[in-house]
């Protein structure tokens, strides 16, 4: 039997679930297929932004490991149920099944022994990303070796934790587990941490992490992991290190395995993502790919922006598209949070863009003294000719909030002098934009 829908969404990620709810509210007949009921709501809610930040806040409030894990479960369970109801209450048919393309037009879904076929006028692929597994001997068959999902499911706090990969995900977990009292060692293949950040920021970040008890092995070449009882032996640069657990955080890739794309004419990029145009449409008309699976920035908020693009096109308002997306801010939730938007100084030099810069250390900020947290620095770049803001890095408490103010100014071509002369409440971290933009 084949069921027919107006819109079929494969995967319960941010873009897909929002599109399903919105289109159903407009009277469309909509179905959403998600293989894993524990992933209702998508990566962010279940194994990404929300649980990890919940754990960070719990650790900041001095909750122990078991309390932190319990709080994480409360939050994720609540939001998972909320997301499920946000679809079913709006009339979306929700299938807990594995989806696989049979052709460009037909999707087969399997739940146990039950097999159905679905067709739809519009199909949206929203299957997210999965951990990259490097060819390190023992990585997948050694006990107590986990990825960023598995580290959130540990039943017992490791006394020692080895962490392969010093990128944003790895450093967030290093910071979190160090806060919980675990002795963390990070093995980073590069010669420095955060190489894309401003050098002053990268050095401070390493200093603060080391102050919190994180150790670093740079230029590390991990050659294998194996068990010695319940312990994990990690070999790197001809030396062995013993840990209670090892986590690998070596990047994430588009999750297309098992989708049956080989049965379609959907094109892929060289990096294995689903190739899309400016409106997230694939090489097959009326099939879209949104979120991490299309090879763009792997953020929940860019996935939501993909929704805006597809929703606009499907409802007759295609003014906004991927080419018009600009100035995407980012935050790495170490301690303190590290946020940035726009260009860094080395990029400005490489692109021969005229600029002036200013730095303001957090220790000079009144609110930092109130917070009793003097760590960090603000660094901004402006064009002295146009007065526009070219880029900003905010490393300090509340940076994840204040970076959005700068993004809005950049999008709207508001001159940096607006911040320089703005009236802010006091004492706040935002008011320091007065001083850092006093160029």
- Catalytic center residues: 426
Query: What residues form DSSP beta bridges with 183?
Result: 160
**281: which residues sit within 8 A by CB, 6+ positions away?**
287, 288, 313
The two three-digit tokens of residue 203, written as one number: 């050095």
Long-range contacts of range 299-302, CB-CB < 8 Å, 24 or more positions apart? 299/328, 299/330, 300/14, 300/42, 300/43, 300/44, 300/48, 300/49, 301/328, 302/328
CA–chain centroid gap for 197, Å, is 17
CB 360 within 8 A of CB 436: yes
Per-residue DSSP letters for 328-368?
--EEE-SSS-EEEEE--HHHHHHTT---EEEEEEGGG-HHH
CA distance 178 to 429: 26
The two three-digit tokens of residue 326, written as one number: 């600009």
Q: What is the number of other CB atoms lying within 10 angstroms of the CB of residue 216? A: 19
């Amino acid at each position: 039997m084949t069921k027919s829908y107006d819109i079929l969404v494969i995967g319960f990620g941010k873009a897909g679930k929002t599109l399903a709810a919105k289109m159903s509210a407009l009277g469309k007949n909509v179905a959403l297929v998600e293989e894993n009921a524990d992933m209702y709501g998508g990566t962010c809610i279940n194994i990404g932004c929300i649980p990890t930040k919940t754990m960070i806040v719990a650790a900041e409030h001095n909750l122990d490991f078991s309390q932190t894990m319990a709080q994480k479960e409360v939050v994720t369970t609540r939001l998972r149920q909320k997301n499920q109801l946000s679809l079913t209450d709006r009339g979306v048919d929700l299938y807990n099944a594995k989806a696989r393309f049979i052709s460009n037009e037909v999707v087969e879904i399997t739940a146990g022994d039950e097999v159905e076929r679905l067709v739809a006028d519009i199909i949206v692929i929203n299957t997210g990303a999965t951990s990259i597994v490097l060819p390190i001997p023992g990585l997948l068959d050694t006990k107590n070796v986990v990825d960023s999902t598995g580290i959130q499911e540990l039943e017992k706090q490791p006394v020692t934790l080895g962490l392969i990969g010093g990128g944003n995900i790895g450093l967030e977990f290093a910071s979190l587990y160090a806060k919980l009292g675990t002795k963390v060692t990070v093995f980073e293949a590069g010669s420095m941490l955060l190489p894309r950040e401003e050098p002053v920021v990268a050095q401070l970040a390493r200093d603060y992490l080391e102050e919190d008890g994180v150790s670093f092995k740079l230029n590390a070449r991990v050659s294998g992991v194996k068990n010695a009882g319940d312990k994990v032996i990690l070999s790197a640069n001809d030396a062995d290190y013993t840990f209670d657990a090892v986590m690998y955080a070596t990047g994430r890739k588009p999750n297309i395995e098992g989708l049956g794309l080989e049965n379609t004419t959907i094109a892929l990029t060289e990096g294995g993502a689903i190739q899309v145009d400016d409106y997230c449409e694939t090489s097959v008309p009326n099939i879209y790919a949104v979120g991490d699976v299309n090879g763009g920035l792997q953020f929940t908020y860019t996935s939501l922006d993909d929704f805006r693009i597809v929703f606009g096109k499907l409802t007759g308002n295609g003014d906004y598209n991927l080419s018009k997306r600009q100035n995407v801010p980012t935050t790495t939730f170490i301690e303190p949070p590290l946020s940035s938007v726009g260009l860094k100084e080395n990029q400005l030099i490489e692109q021969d863009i005229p600029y002036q810069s200013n730095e303001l250390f957090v220790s000079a900020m009144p609110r930092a003294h109130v917070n009793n947290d003097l760590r960090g620095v603000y660094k901004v770049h402006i064009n002295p000719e146009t007065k526009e803001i070219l880029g900003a890095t905010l490393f300090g408490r509340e940076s994840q909030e204040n970076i959005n103010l700068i993004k809005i100014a950049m999008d709207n071509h508001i001159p940096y002098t607006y911040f320089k002369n703005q009236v802010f409440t006091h004492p706040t971290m935002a008011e320091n934009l007065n001083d850092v933009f006093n160029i």
